[in-house]
């Protein structure tokens, strides 16, 4: 699914924006080598997380490295997933910024691997996708900073995400979304004003 900047901003605004932590949006350097297709038909980046699929542990490990934990949902044959890899991720600025600031776990929206969710529930990737309301690929979930933050959010019935990006964005806007999360700008302003300021 491809989203124009206007469509993405409308979706975010429709969810009330992201001015505060916990508000959910609408539901060193990497190598320059081209990504390879894995056995499951998904492109694999060398800087993606090699995980035991324990999301709480992955979040905790990411925080220990000074990174934010994200889950990237894809599926075989997704043309916009391909664009994400072959257009966005080949740009050195995007690749280096994302690998330096984010720990990226790739999951398959139709996959059968067992994943332990942040709340401790163990289920297959496809079941987790349904539980999380993942409808499009690519979709990126950007999570709270620490495992303690996630546990507090779950205890309070709050989202464990600070932002969800459903669909494909062109490189410039995609990089701005990464900066928005990495700089914790969601604590002070909505994403549209953040991107607008960056363009002036």
Instruction: Output Rg (C-alpha) for the chain, integer angstroms.
Output: 16
The pLDDT of residue 132 is 96
In the predicted structure, residue 94 carries a pLDDT above the cut 90: yes
The whole-number pLDDT of residue 14 equals 34
Tell me if 187 is assigned to some domain: yes
Inter-residue contact 70 to 106 (CB < 8 Å): no
pLDDT at 71: 98
Is it the case that residue 27 has pLDDT exceeding 60?
no
Structural domain span for residue 186: 5-14+43-199
71-90 mean pLDDT: 97
Mean pLDDT of 7-13: 46
Q: Is the pLDDT of residue 161 over 50?
A: yes
Within a domain: residue 30?
no
- Judge whether 99 lies within some domain: yes
- CATH code of residue 66: 3.40.30.10
Q: How many domains does the chain have?
A: 1
pTM value is 0.83
Residue 19, domain member (yes or no): no
């Amino acid at each position: 699914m491809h989203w124009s900047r206007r469509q993405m901003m409308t979706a975010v605004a429709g969810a009330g924006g992201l001015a505060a932590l916990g508000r959910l949006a609408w539901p060193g350097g990497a190598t320059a080598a081209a990504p390879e297709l894995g056995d499951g038909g998904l492109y694999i980046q060398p800087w993606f997380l090699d995980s035991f699929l324990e999301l709480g542990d992955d979040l905790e490990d990411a925080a220990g490295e000074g990174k934010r934990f994200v889950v990237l949902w894809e599926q075989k044959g997704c043309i916009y997933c391909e664009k994400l890899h072959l257009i966005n991720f080949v740009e050195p600025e995007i690749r280096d910024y994302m690998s330096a600031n984010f720990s990226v776990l790739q999951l398959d929206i139709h996959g059968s691997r067992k994943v332990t969710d942040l709340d401790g529930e163990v289920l297959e990737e496809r079941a987790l996708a349904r539980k999380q309301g993942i409808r499009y690929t690519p979709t990126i979930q950007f999570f709270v900073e620490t495992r303690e933050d996630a546990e507090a959010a779950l205890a309070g019935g709050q989202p464990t995400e600070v932002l969800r990006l459903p669909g494909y964005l062109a490189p410039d806007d995609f990089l701005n979304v990464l900066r928005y999360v990495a700089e914790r700008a969601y604590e002070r302003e909505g994403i549209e004003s953040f991107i607008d300021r960056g363009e002036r």
